[in-house]
Amino acid sequence: MRNVPSINVLVFKGFVCKAFLRTMQSIYFSFSGSFSESLLQELAEYIKKSLQSFEFNSFLVGCSFPYSLSEDEKSLLKKEFHFALVKKLESVLEKKPDFSNPHISITIDFNARKINWEIRSVFIEGNYNKFSRKIAQTIFFCPKCKGNGCAYCRQKGKLGLESVEELIGKPAQKLFQASSFLFHGSGREDVDVCMLGNGRGFVLELLGPKKRLADLKKLEIEINKTAKKKISVHSLVFSNKKRVIELKEKRSFKKYHCIIDCSKPILETKLKELVGKEWVVLQQTPLRVIKRRSDLERKRTVKIVSIQKKSKKQFEVTVLAEAGLYIKEFVNGDSNRTKPNFSSLLENDCSCTQLDVIEILDP
Ligand SMILES: [Zn+2]
Preceding omega of 5 cis (within 30 degrees of 0): no
Residues 155/138, Cβ–Cβ less than 8 Å: no
Residue 143 Cα to ligand 1 midpoint, Å, equals 7
Task: Convert the pLDDT of each residue in 64-120 to its tens digit.
Answer: 887 877 888 788 778 878 888 899 999 999 999 999 889 999 988 877 777 888 899
How far does the centroid of ligand 1 lie from the alpha carbon of residue 149, in Å? 4
Distance from the alpha carbon of residue 336 to the mean position of ligand 1, in angstroms? 38
Question: What's the 158 CA to ligand 1 centre distance in angstroms?
Answer: 6
Q: From ligand 1's centre to the CA of 321, what distance in Å?
A: 38
Determine the distance separating the centroid of ligand 1 and the alpha carbon of 18, expressed in angstroms: 43
Domain residue limits, the chain = 9-119, 122-249, 254-360
Nearest to 113 by CA among 6, 28, 8, 33: 28
CATH code, residues 9-119: 3.30.1330
Q: What does the pLDDT look like over 157-183, one tens digit per residue?
A: 888 789 999 999 999 999 999 999 999
Q: What string of pLDDT tens digits covers the 363 residues of the chain?
A: 333 332 223 333 334 445 555 555 555 444 444 566 777 787 888 888 888 889 999 999 998 887 877 888 788 778 878 888 899 999 999 999 999 889 999 988 877 777 888 899 999 999 999 999 999 999 888 889 888 889 998 888 888 789 999 999 999 999 999 999 999 999 999 999 999 999 999 999 999 999 998 899 999 999 999 999 999 999 999 999 999 999 999 899 999 999 999 999 999 999 999 999 999 999 999 999 998 888 999 999 999 999 999 999 999 999 999 999 999 999 999 999 999 999 999 999 999 999 999 999 987
* Distance of alpha carbon 186 from alpha carbon 197, whole angstroms: 15
Q: Ligand 1 center to residue 276 CA distance, Å?
A: 49
Q: How many helices (H) and strands (E) would you count in the chain?
A: 10, 15
Structure pTM? 0.84
CA atoms within 13 A on the CB side of 137: 20
Q: Which CATH number fits domain 122-249: 3.40.1010.10, 3.30.70.2510, 1.10.287.610, 3.90.1150.10?
A: 3.30.70.2510
- Helix (H, G, I), strand (E, B), or coil: what is residue 163? strand
- d(CA 338, CA 353) in angstroms, rounded, equals 18
Q: Cα separation of 16 and 26, whole Å?
A: 16
Query: Catalytic site residues?
Result: 190
> Alpha-carbon distance 207 to 176, whole Å?
9
Dist. CA 154–CA 151, nearest whole Å: 5
Cα 299–300–301 angle (5° rounding)? 130
**Residue 222, C-beta contacts closer than 8 angstroms, at least 6 positions apart:** 171, 175
**CB neighbour list of residue 18: distance below 8 Å, 6 or more residues apart:** none
Q: What is the 3-state secondary structure (H, E, C) of 220-282?
A: HHHHHHHCCCCEEEEEEEEECHHHHHHHHHCCCCEEEEEEEEECCCCCHHHHHCCCCCEEEEE
288 Cα to the center of ligand 1, angstroms: 25
Structurally, what CATH architecture does the domain formed by 254-360 represent?
2-Layer Sandwich (3.30)
Domains 122-249 and 254-360 in one fold: yes
144 alpha carbon – ligand 1 mean position (Å):
5
CA angle in degrees (0–180, nearest 5) for 44-48-50: 115
Q: From CA 48, how far away is CA 69, in angstroms rounded?
A: 28
